[in-house]
Chain A
Amino acid sequence: MEHIRTTKVEQVKALDRFSTSNKSLTGTLYLTATHLLFIDSHQKETWILHHHIASVEKLALTTSGCPLVIQCKNFRIVHFIVPRERDCHDIYNSLLQLSKQAKYEDLYAFSYNPKQNDAERLQGWQLIDLAEEYERMGVPNSHWQLSDANREYKICETYPRELYVPQVASKPIIVGSSKFRSKGRFPVLSYYHQDKEAAICRCSQPLSGFSARCLEDEHLLQAISKANPVNRYMYVMDTRPKLNAMANRAAGKGYENEDNYSNIRFQFVGIENIHVMRSSLQKLLEVNGTKGLSVNDFYSGMESSGWLRHVKAVMDAAIFLAKAIMVENASVLVHCSDGWDRTSQVCSLGSLLLDSYYRTIKGFMVLIEKDWISFGHKFSERCGHLDGDPKEISPVFIQFLECVWHLTEQFPQAFEFNEAFLLQIHEHIHSCQFGNFLGNCQKEREELKLKEKTYSLWPFLLDDRKKYLNPLYSSKAQRFTVLEPSTVSFSFKFWRNMYHQFDRTLHPRQSVFNIIMNMNEQNKQLEKEIKDLESKIKQRKNKQTDGVPTKELLHSIHPESPSLKTSLCFKEQTLLPVNDALRTIEGSNSADNRYSDYAEAFSKSEPAVVSLEYGVARMTC
């Protein structure tokens, strides 16, 4: 609280981000320990979590006050005008302090209290159990074993304790291989395809330089390929562009030499590094933040940002991976430099294409927990949870979410969850409200005692399950077992609901989604009730003694008949305001749109050109 000097400022104006006529709402700004809150004159509340703030900017003083621009990590951008410069300065300084914490212990998760007892919290943390997940995949088995080599984080600090390796890989081989891999991240199992008996493995780049070799590493790779009884060949996918990988060789790192490893096929797939991705997204956001953006500038901006090209590169790599397993029955080893960014993207997306379980709500949580959290994607650094090196921040995980979104667009029936689920997860990788995404690896998380001090996000998402269900989901559709997305250029489009999540005026004014969801739910409930009724009728019939005319039976039952009761409750249900409220027309207001700014044309006396015309006319007369 020592950072907060002013807690409340009145008469603050919030400007509309896209309005060219500087429309604004006046209200009061409150600063709390965790949030910045703006309540406008219509009593509408805007809550901004301090951790969501990516940057605060104080612009030059204007006649109406001191402008303060806040950009958030969830792509919300607010533009306040604070009447007194002093207040603005206070808030600016407080936000600077509050949005950039130096210690994990100061993050929201450590003070967030959803009123659960310790048992409930622990239960929440146990919701996702990776051991169970590996069991589901079918490991350990005769080819794959659980290794205890990293039980004490002795071999690799950024890996989890429990790792699955080929049955024949002994500890000395693992240790030897880990010494030959960047950050000790030796090849381990990420996903096992039971039907094909093929595996997705992951690791970091080898420390091969120009000529170095490591027999243990070569053995380990051979062990992986031998663990696949169908196809002895295995792919090694380097997810970097070839040039980058070659440059790494000068630093004693690099990539596998095909001559040294037996039975491997080496392949570059060319996903750019975190710095390229960061500036690409930056460019995209700059273009889309422009007031009065023209269609042509929008598309040329999209093109020059390269964002969709990068998204496609990730998708292409995942498709390559899935095909290697499905078509060639081959195991695949994936790596990039350190094996925690691009490798996580490709492994998780590849598994998602292959295994419909990951397309369920629970399965998607498991996937994130496995390929991202446990394998040490550096969430805290990539999301900038703490005040640190801005060069470590990168939208790698967002890119993964965007790939998943593109898949949901191409396969509207294949996913149990909807877009809101993806957006909510994105919200929470930055919110620091739950412990899941804090820290950069499992070891760090254990040291922070996150399971004792913070809550897990997943049970909260499951509680709200209904909000995240896709009404069109059909789990039975056989042809969706393996997804084969199209990567034609038109399949990639701008994800408006992510990057303009809070720019209400840009979105469709009515949502089909809620309506269908509601209808679907009602249908399901009705079906259930019909079944209940049928079984009750059966019971009654059985109880009835013979000889009672059926008509009388109906009569006698009717007064307390469950069917009457349910039919009444149906009527109530269909009249429920929820349904109608959803159908009401949101934001159908011409004042929300930019063409309304042309309305000024109506009040102007005459366009300038016309008066000129008159001038000319008079002269010629």
Chain B
Amino acid sequence: MRTGRAQAELLLGPEAPRLRGTLCVTGHHLLLSPGPQDLWLLLLRNVDSIEKRVAGESGTITLRCKDLRVLQLDIEGVEATLDIARSIEALSSLESVITSFPFFYRPKGLRLGDAWHFHPPESYYKRVARETKAWRLSEVNENFSLCPSYPRAVIVPRAVDDKALALSARFRQGGRFPVLSYHHARSGTVLLRSSQPLTGPQKRRCAEDEELLRAVLAGARPGAQGFVVDTRSAQAAKQARMAGGGTEAKAAYPGWKRLHRPLERGRPLQESFVRLVEACGDLEQSTDHWLSRLEGCSWLAHVKEALSTACLTAQGMEREGACILVHGAEGTDSTLLVTSLAQLILDPLSRTMVGFQELVEREWIQAGHPFQLRCAHSAFSHARPKHEAPTFLLFLDCVWQLGRQFPLSLEFGEALLLALFEHAYASPFGTFLCNSEKERCLCEVRSQTHSLWSRLNQPKEQRKLRNPLYVLNPLALWPSVEPQSLQLWQGLFLRWTRPPEPPEVAWEKVWQIVTEKRKTDDSQPTASASEPQP
């Protein structure tokens, strides 16, 4: 490991002023100090790709970051340039979790282990179990033996015992047997998620798995129907049988019907992301070319599909009073996308600041979305993608679209979504580390790193993250999914290319108006309280 030190000039963007100073590579950071007081810092983990060029006595390094920023470093000395480039390359691609920066990050004002129990999914499950009687908290996965990607606590039908769960888990890919994701109290229905059943070419069945789903319907409102929303096409689901997977056969699960809503995943989704970011980086292209690239990358088509599948799911619960089981293949990607969005549509609580954090914790982090694999590289990496896919980003984009269409109904603003995007890809906090709760336990993430949530819930961060116009909206949010209604998320994809000022200035003005109004509203009662009593 070579660490370097050199004189360099940093270009943060096309319009930003240049910073000049001593450049230094440390174990986790790239530092540049333009003056005795100033320090510019980049987490090396944030570097997605690095490009070096030398000419004469100096060199240029272009860093493309996972948060889509592009930085340019002009460095004095050829040797220094090559050294620094090598160091950055080596240090930014370290795979080991326990030597990663979150394990060394000790910010002021935060205590280790403070907020890890801030959003435990158990509290939600306990509430549901209390409210419904048909569901119970099970500790069958206490040591992650049944399903390595599930958390310790899962919530299952009361009528099904742990032994049956174990058998059902053996019938599902990765052991992800059907568990409750959301209980919709108003209609008395539930949203479940799982992975695909391992029916295989022989069309195997599993009595316990069938029993589990039967118990779900029995526990819901009387006469409730069930729908399996398969996030693959019927064709793909059928093909999966050859590889041992498959989908629920109608005859085996009476009362359950199947709907196929194919969602893009894996490599095509990653490619869509890469192509969109590429198009967004081109400042010279014509409007025609831009439109054709926007079409070609299909990103907004994926947004539309994800949103409409979530709407369909939510509608099934609210309008049809049906129980819904969502799964694709592994049940760790598009499945979570659909279940989490459906909750956001239906549940006013999940649209609050705390509720949304809980939702991300429960439906993404605890539910076993493999963040480490999916977010290993962002859109700039030259490495051949293996497991990368921007599923979580797609979720954030869909939430942003909801926020655009219902600007008063989400308690958080765009800034929270941007923060989650950044931290999912590279973070000094432990929240998004590893691929599952099991891995996090092995690495002692909880006790050795800080939680992103405790940072985000500090009062000074909150002002940036909150939506000043929020009012509780008790209804379901049904967004329009027409192409004319969906927009490119400029705040994310064009964050570093557009001049950021005007929108932020306007946002500041909104804040100002709202706080002024609050002040005058608040001053009313105090004014009357100070009135002399007759």
Binding site for B on A (CB under 8 A): 18, 288, 293-300, 302-303, 306, 308-309, 312, 410-413, 471-472, 474, 486, 488-494, 496, 500, 505-512, 515-516, 519-520, 522-523, 526, 551, 554-555, 558, 563-564, 567, 570-571, 574, 583, 585, 588-590, 592-596, 598-599, 601-602, 605-607, 609-610, 613-614, 617
Contacts and interface: CB of A to CB of B under 8 A. Distances in A.
Given A490-B290, A512-B407, A570-B520, 13 more contacts: A295-B301, A299-B483, A474-B509, A490-B494, A516-B510, A551-B532, A558-B532, A583-B471, A593-B480, A598-B308, A602-B316, A609-B234, A609-B238
Nearest to B490: A490
B471 A607 contact: no
Contact of B498 (A490, A520, A554): A490
Interface string B476-487: 111111111111
Residue with the greatest number of chain A CB neighbours at <10 A, chosen from B314, B480, B499: B480
24 contacts: A295-B295, A309-B287, A412-B502, A471-B513, A472-B509, A489-B286, A491-B498, A506-B485, A507-B485, A508-B406, A526-B520, A551-B532, A571-B524, A583-B408, A588-B477, A590-B319, A592-B480, A593-B311, A593-B479, A593-B481, A607-B234, A610-B234, A613-B234, A614-B250
Contacts of B282: 489
Contacts of A496: 484-485
Interface stretch (B167-175, B252-260, B441-449): B252-260
Contacts of B527: 563, 567
A599 B319 contact: yes
Contacts of A493: 487-488
A508 B488 CA distance: 15
A515 B473 CA distance: 15
A307 to B, nearest CB: 9
A590 B475 CA distance: 11
Contacts of B531: 558, 564
A125 B483 CA distance: 43
B514 interface: yes
Nearest to A608: B234
B503 interface: yes
A613 B237 CA distance: 11
Interface string B87-108: 0000000000000000000000
The 8 tightest CB contacts between A and B, nearest first, are A299-B295, A298-B483, A489-B290, A303-B291, A609-B234, A295-B301, A412-B506, A595-B308
Given A510-B406, A606-B257, A607-B260, A308 B291 contact: yes
Nearest to A513: B407
Contact of B258 (A308, A554, A610): A610
A411 B502 contact: yes
Nearest to B493: A490
B322 to A, nearest CB: 7
A223 B24 CA distance: 63
B405 interface: yes
A505 B287 contact: no
Contacts of B498: 486, 488, 490-491
A494 B487 CA distance: 10
A380 B207 CA distance: 77
A297 B304 CA distance: 13
A519 B515 CA distance: 10
Contacts of A596: 311, 315
B289 interface: yes
Contacts of B308: 594-595, 598
Contacts of B505: 412-413
Contact of B482 (A312, A589, A594): A594
Contacts of A554: 532
A571 B524 CA distance: 8
B502 A413 contact: yes
A509 B235 CA distance: 37
Nearest to B229: A601
B482 A293 contact: yes
A589 B509 contact: no
B298 A296 contact: yes
A101 B523 CA distance: 60
Given A490-B280, A599-B319, A472 B301 contact: no
B238 A613 contact: yes
A306 B290 CA distance: 12
A567 B528 contact: yes
Nearest to B295: A299
Residue with the greatest number of chain B CB neighbours at <10 A, chosen from A296, A509, A570, A596: A509
A570 to B, nearest CB: 6
A606 B486 CA distance: 31
B42 interface: no
B161 interface: no
A595 B520 CA distance: 43
Nearest to B259: A601
Interface in B290-345: 290-292, 294-295, 298, 300-301, 303-304, 308, 311-312, 314-316, 318-320, 322
A619 to B, nearest CB: 13
A303 B480 contact: no
Contacts of A500: 484
A602 B261 CA distance: 13
Contacts of A594: 308, 481-482
A299 B497 contact: no
Nearest to A470: B506
Interface string B253-289: 0000111100000000000000000001011011111
Contacts of A564: 531
B343 to A, nearest CB: 15
A544 to B, nearest CB: 17
Contacts of B227: 602
A171 B294 CA distance: 56
A610 B250 contact: yes
A534 B83 CA distance: 69
A595 B528 contact: no
A520 B494 CA distance: 30
Contacts of A492: 287
B276 to A, nearest CB: 11
Contacts of A610: 234, 250, 258
Contacts of A567: 524, 527-528
Contacts of B312: 595, 598-599, 601
B98 to A, nearest CB: 41
A299 B291 contact: yes
A594 B312 CA distance: 10
A486 B408 CA distance: 29
B2 interface: no
